[in-house]
Amino acid sequence: MDTAGPSNKRRHVISRTTIQSLNDDIISTIFSFLDFIHLIRCSAVCNSWSRVINKSKLFQTLYQKQRWIFGSDFDVSTSSEGTWKKQLQELAIGQHRSSLHTGSVDIYQWKGHTAGIDRCKMKMGLLLTGGSGKVMRLWSVERYKCLAEYHLPHTGSLIDFNFDESKVVGLVATQICIWRRNEKRSIFSSQGGQFPRGTCMCYVDPEAVVGCEDGRARVFDMYGKKWSRIIKMHEGPVTCLSFSDDQLLIGGSSYGRISLSDLSSDQQVAALKTNDYADLSTLCYNSRSHTLFAGSRSGRATAFDLRMMKRLWEVRVSPNILCSIQHMWDDVSVLAMGGIDGVLRLVDQQSGDILSSCIMYESSRKLYHSPNPHSNVTRKKGIRVAEDARFDLMPRTSRPSINSLAVGMQKVVTAHPDGMHEGPVTCLSFSDDQLLIGGSSYGRISLSDLSSDQQVAALKTNDYADLSTLCYNSRSHTLFAGSRSGRATAFDLRMMKRLWEVRVSPNILCSIQHMRDDVSVLAMGGIDGVLRLVDQQSGDILSSCIMYESSRKLYHSPNPHSNVTRKKGIRVAEDARFDLMPRTSRPSINSLAVGMQKVVTAHPDGYIRVWRFGK
């Protein structure tokens, strides 16, 4: 009987061909189809590609084919290798400038995070993004693909970050966290610093520098894993930081002040000032031209020559906050600027003239669709508009606010605060220009335009507790927020900056209100049952009131809702021990309202109380 043996048919295994398996001739043939911009990019990828390109004389061949591009002054046959490579670099930057100034504009967009993105950094064709969520993501700019995720510790929110070839460095609350580029988990988290909240961070190995709200910069030794020293920079908070190429630490602050300090000696070496007295929001240093660019919360941009320590120019480029200013490495011609109004402006570095202003055309075409929401890429058309155009009349969907941006060869990457909150919306308010204001967990506040359903700005308190109440004063354009930890914060919504933040109660603040058109006094109440009257300008507590326990019945009726009792209110010192006072004299306040010389409070026991204040 025949038995069938095992089949001896060959099984063909198809293996994927990688770039490493190709010989130099094939790689050279592939590269020969590129234009010189992409050829320059490929020569910078790795030593082996650079060797193949130089060995095959591809640049010289391309020159012979496209001599008209290079101009009559350029002759590769008589120039040394170093000379023509430098000229090629200049030519590439020239084409970069020309494309930003007058070229067509295509926009590729995708949802990178569930919550809004506060910052982005781009290097070597890679983009790192992060915001109010608990994760940072690393993207390929060319493929729009997420390459890695870096999860934050649960100690606070992400404030600032940057990365290099081997690591990612982030400031989370008052901790410095370091990740390896190829690992998701943080390999190191410093002990929380004993200092006021950090506002910004930058680093140059082996030190990371954190700018703080007390006007000082704290230096962290990443190799020694300890906070090493403190540098006094400003009287007000340090709002933005940058490094010069000769190890000068540059810090921006309120009232347009800039301080330059030597990291080696911790001494301030110079101070600069803009003509604009608004707080500075962003700094950008060009190491090739030794020029420092500063953007302010009033929309003005200023350029300084750090060799001569003098102001070169100062212009108003936007009616709102400038959130980010950047340029491409080694480019001394064009700056990209973006901010609250959502217009991408391209500005001449030498003069401050606006070269072009770009917004999105609303129609779009989906390029890639995936079950993963972070992989859905949409293509939109960008349009250039005249700088004197009425941007305020253009729909917000065509110009969503720009939180951060980065510049590469013939491209600009922008990050936006789309989406109200990742956590629950805990309180809501309206501004007088139809902005919906929403408070959430971790002290986050989101401002969204009702006409376009787009988020236009995001604010944060120093307090990481959930927000419990919001109150907007349309006359002073001030937003007041109360938290579950008893802290109250005031924001100027014209400048989008924090005015003050104070602890007014040891418990939850349930309600903050003011009388219409009054810009002087706020009434605040909460769990501890103390009615506090607070100065709107400074946050100082003007008076604290509780009830005197004795009472007198004014009206009696069979209807229990008509029985009115009169009590005496008393003012007590703010340093009094409220916890030792009987709860009957300070029942919890769930809500309140303010009228002329009176405050009405509502309580969880069902009582309504009217506090009348006489002269």
State how far the Cα of 59 lies from the Cα of 67, in Å rounded to an integer.
11
Q: How confident is the model at residue 558 (pLDDT cuts 50, 70, 90)?
A: low
In the chain, the N- to C-terminal Cα span, in Å, equals 119
Mean pLDDT of 282-286: 96
Q: Is the pLDDT of residue 7 over 50?
A: no
**DSSP bridge pairs for 249:** 243, 261
The residue among 225 and 251 whose pLDDT is bigger is: 251
pLDDT at residue 9, as a whole number: 46
pLDDT at residue 65, as a whole number: 63
Tell me: cis bond preceding 206? Omega within 30 of 0 counts.
yes
Residue 313 carries which side chain, given as an amino acid letter? Answer: W
- pLDDT over 90 for what percent of the chain? 42
pLDDT at residue 282, as a whole number: 96
pLDDT at residue 557, as a whole number: 56
pLDDT at residue 136, as a whole number: 93
The residue among 14 and 221 whose pLDDT is bigger is: 221
CB 548 within 8 A of CB 567: yes
Task: Give the E-state strand segments of 244-353 in sequence order.
Answer: 248-252, 257-262, 267-273, 280-286, 291-296, 300-305, 310-316, 322-326, 334-339, 344-348
- The candidate with the shortest Cα–Cα distance to 141, out of 160, 161, 121, is 121
Residue 257 carries which side chain, given as an amino acid letter? Answer: R
pLDDT at residue 1, as a whole number: 43
Among 40-44, 242-246, 320-324, the minimum mean pLDDT is found in 40-44
- The candidate with the shortest Cα–Cα distance to 511, out of 593, 591, 439, is 591
Q: Which two tokens stand for residue 430?
A: 């309206």
CA 101 to chain centre: 26
Among 44-48, 387-391, 539-543, the minimum mean pLDDT is found in 44-48
pLDDT at residue 73, as a whole number: 55
Among 54-68, 113-127, 387-401, 412-426, the minimum mean pLDDT is found in 54-68
pLDDT at residue 61, as a whole number: 75
pLDDT at residue 452, as a whole number: 66
Instruction: Render 226-240 in DSSP notation, one character per residue.
Output: EEEEEEE--SS---E
Q: Is the pLDDT of residue 455 over 80?
A: no
State how far the Cα of 255 lies from the Cα of 229, in Å rounded to an integer.
26
Q: Is the pLDDT of residue 434 over 80?
A: no
CA 30-31-35 angle, 5° bins = 125
Give kind and range of the element (H or E) at residue 534. strand 531-535
Q: How confident is the model at residue 97 (pLDDT cuts 50, 70, 90)?
A: confident
Q: Collapsing DSSP states into helix, strand and coil, what is residue 580?
A: helix
Among 26-40, 44-58, 74-88, 449-463, the minimum mean pLDDT is found in 74-88
Question: Average pLDDT over the chain, rounded to whole?
Answer: 85
CB 299 within 8 A of CB 320: yes
Intervals of CATH 2.130.10.10 along the chain: 113-385+395-408, 427-612
pLDDT at residue 156, as a whole number: 76
State how far the Cα of 426 lies from the Cα of 450, in Å rounded to an integer.
18
CB 466 within 8 A of CB 505: no
pLDDT at residue 53, as a whole number: 84
Q: What's the CATH number for 113-385+395-408?
A: 2.130.10.10
pLDDT at residue 3, as a whole number: 46
Q: Is the pLDDT of residue 5 over 60?
A: no
Q: Is the pLDDT of residue 23 over 50?
A: yes
pLDDT at residue 79, as a whole number: 57
Q: Which two tokens stand for residue 401?
A: 């606010």
- The candidate with the shortest Cα–Cα distance to 219, out of 190, 258, 186, 182, is 190
**427-612 maps to CATH 3.40.47.10:** no
pLDDT at residue 422, as a whole number: 56
The residue among 363 and 144 whose pLDDT is bigger is: 144
Q: Which two tokens stand for residue 271?
A: 């101070």
The residue among 440 and 528 whose pLDDT is bigger is: 528
Among 64-73, 101-110, 183-192, 219-228, the minimum mean pLDDT is found in 64-73
Residue 274 carries which side chain, given as an amino acid letter? Answer: T
Q: Is the dihedral of CA 285, 325, 100, 374 positive or negative?
A: positive
- The candidate with the shortest Cα–Cα distance to 592, out of 529, 533, 525, 530, is 525
Q: Collapsing DSSP states into helix, strand and coil, what is residue 447?
A: strand
The residue among 288 and 97 whose pLDDT is bigger is: 288
Tokens 């303010």 locate to 594
Q: What contacts 476, CB < 8 A, 6 or more positions away?
A: 519, 536
Q: Which two tokens stand for residue 387?
A: 């700088």
Distances (CA, A) of 591 to 412, 438, 476, 523: 48, 18, 23, 10
Q: Which two tokens stand for residue 490?
A: 């005031």
Q: Collapsing DSSP states into helix, strand and coil, what is residue 69?
A: helix
pLDDT tens column, 99-140: 888 878 998 888 888 777 889 999 888 999 998 778 999 999
pLDDT tens column, 490-528: 999 988 889 999 999 988 899 999 998 899 999 999 989
Among 105-109, 125-129, 422-426, 594-598, the minimum mean pLDDT is found in 422-426
Q: How confident is the model at residue 208 (pLDDT cuts 50, 70, 90)?
A: very high
CB 425 within 8 A of CB 444: no
Among 266-275, 288-297, 433-442, 467-476, the minimum mean pLDDT is found in 433-442
pLDDT at residue 4, as a whole number: 47
Q: Is the pLDDT of residue 63 over 70?
A: no
Mean pLDDT of 19-24: 81
pLDDT at residue 362, as a whole number: 73
